[in-house]
Amino acid sequence: MSKPFVRIVGASLIGTTIEWYDFFLYTSAAALVFNKLFFPTADPLTGTLLAFLTYAIGFIARPIGGLVFGHYGDRVGRKRLLVLSLLLMGGSTFAMGLLPTYAAIGVGAPLLLTALRLVQGFALGGEWGGAVLIVSEHGSPERRGFWASWPQCGAPGGNLLATGVLALLAAVQSDATFLAWGWRVPFLLSGVLVLIGLWIRLSVTESPVFLAAQAKAAERAEPHVPVVEVFRNSWQRVLVTIGARMAENVSYYIITAFILVYVTTGLGMAKTVGLNAVMIGSAIHFISIPLWGALSDRLGRRPVYLFGAVAMAVWAFVFFALLNTRSPGLIIVAAAVGLTLHGAMYGPQAAFFSEQFPTRVRYTGLSVGGQLSSIAAGAVAPLIATALFQHYGSTLPVSLYLVGMCAITIIAILAARETRGRSLAEPETVDSPVPAGR
């Protein structure tokens, strides 16, 4: 593989890691800090629910970001939009580290926090599609599953970084110091990370597949409105994308976000137990994602994705059984195995979704389909899980909720066609035949 392509993969990975670091930092802080500093109530679970409401608002902005970034990404290019998304995400996260708390300015504090969360969600909605596309459209069909999975590693990479920084601060600071000012450090650190990410991203080249499609569109001189074309000609693929993400999204946020609530509030254990489990699980997740992506190059996208959804439905019950042992070691196993199984869906996802849409609308279709699912899945997953646990005093309803999402994903994958080996160049689309022998 050429050095320029490796640089493109590295730029996408580092960029998505920084973006997800910012996004997941808020997730962890919502479970551990914001419920106390921005939503102080007598009931800890109620404060957590309010904090997770602002967390969910970020997801509402993601489809809007996907729509806007996708539209312009399909018109002017992938690279420019990736730079803009990084600036928006990093700037809003840095500003969170400077926010006054509820004790200082009252209701203005959660309002400002919510506004910045909206900017985060808007930026991330445009980031993901562009990052996976610029790798997918540079690489060869034979190893697309493997290479396109590397930007996906930005999710566990960012989560590992965010959780690691929070765990380190929690270990060296008292709870009072951490609540007073220590929680601000990882948010302010985002400013440094963004400068590094920009330096790397500005060095990559635009997608050759996009440039070729853009040149053909200029020759035809036809009006090009990507979002209209997507919903007119590819709405079935958008539905497949939404359904396929349900189990992947919900399981991820239950394993990485709700675990922090359940370990501290439900089991009465130290927050470091949950943080360490997520941190170690994220490291294993980071390694497993490219392996699942490579396996999809050999077996196909659908078989690997289906295995992940079915296995996650089973793990939904084992996960909480291990947590309920109150053994730190078994809690780590619960998170690590759960995230490894999640990787079976997340690894092939970038290539699978990229192969669903033609180049003219690929950024829009990938982003809108992927981010619409975030409202019904990731946005409400910790909120629903916390509410179910609060109402029933049991994790069984949470497990059943996850099983239901896995069922939706299984149906979506069964309804989709296998896409392994398809060309992403115009005029090929998902309806083009798979090359012989594959």
* Distance between CA atoms of residues 332 and 322, nearest Å: 9
Residue of 159, 163, 133, 191 whose CA lies nearest to 12:
133
Q: What is the pLDDT of residue 427?
A: 47
Lookup result for tokens 């509402």: 60
Domain ranges of the chain: 3-205+226-415
Among 34-38, 177-181, 239-243, 423-427, the least confident range: 423-427
SS (H, E, C) 274-312: HHHHHHHHHHHHHHHHHHHHHHHHHHCHHHHHHHHHHHH
Q: What is the pLDDT of residue 62?
A: 83
Residue of 18, 14, 12, 25 whose CA lies nearest to 278:
25
**In the numeric block, which tokens belong to residue 12?**
């996408």
In this model, does residue 222 exceed pLDDT 70? no
* Distance between CA atoms of residues 102 and 141, nearest Å: 52
- Confidence (pTM): 0.82
Q: What is the pLDDT of residue 220?
A: 65
* Distance between CA atoms of residues 237 and 356, nearest Å: 6
What's the average model confidence in pLDDT over 263-281? Answer: 88
Q: What is the pLDDT of residue 205?
A: 74
Lookup result for tokens 């982003």: 367
Q: What is the mean pLDDT of the chain?
A: 84
* Distance between CA atoms of residues 359 and 171, nearest Å: 48
Lookup result for tokens 């969170």: 96
DSSP state of 34: H
Digit-coded pLDDT (tens) for 330-345 = 999 999 999 999 999 9
- At 29, the pLDDT band (50, 70, 90 cuts) reads confident
| Third-level CATH fold of 3-205+226-415 | Growth Hormone; Chain: A; (1.20.1250)
**In the numeric block, which tokens belong to residue 10?**
């590295």
In this model, does residue 300 exceed pLDDT 80? yes
The amino acid present at 91, given as its one-letter code, is G
* Distance between CA atoms of residues 282 and 256, nearest Å: 9
Sign of CA dihedral 429, 430, 431, 433: positive
* Distance between CA atoms of residues 26 and 61, nearest Å: 15
What Rg do the C-alpha atoms of the chain give, in angstroms?
A: 21
Sign of CA dihedral 23, 25, 30, 36: negative
Residue of 91, 101, 95 whose CA lies nearest to 36:
101
Residue of 226, 203, 53, 52 whose CA lies nearest to 129:
226
In this model, does residue 223 exceed pLDDT 70? no
Digit-coded pLDDT (tens) for 415-431 = 998 988 887 775 444 44
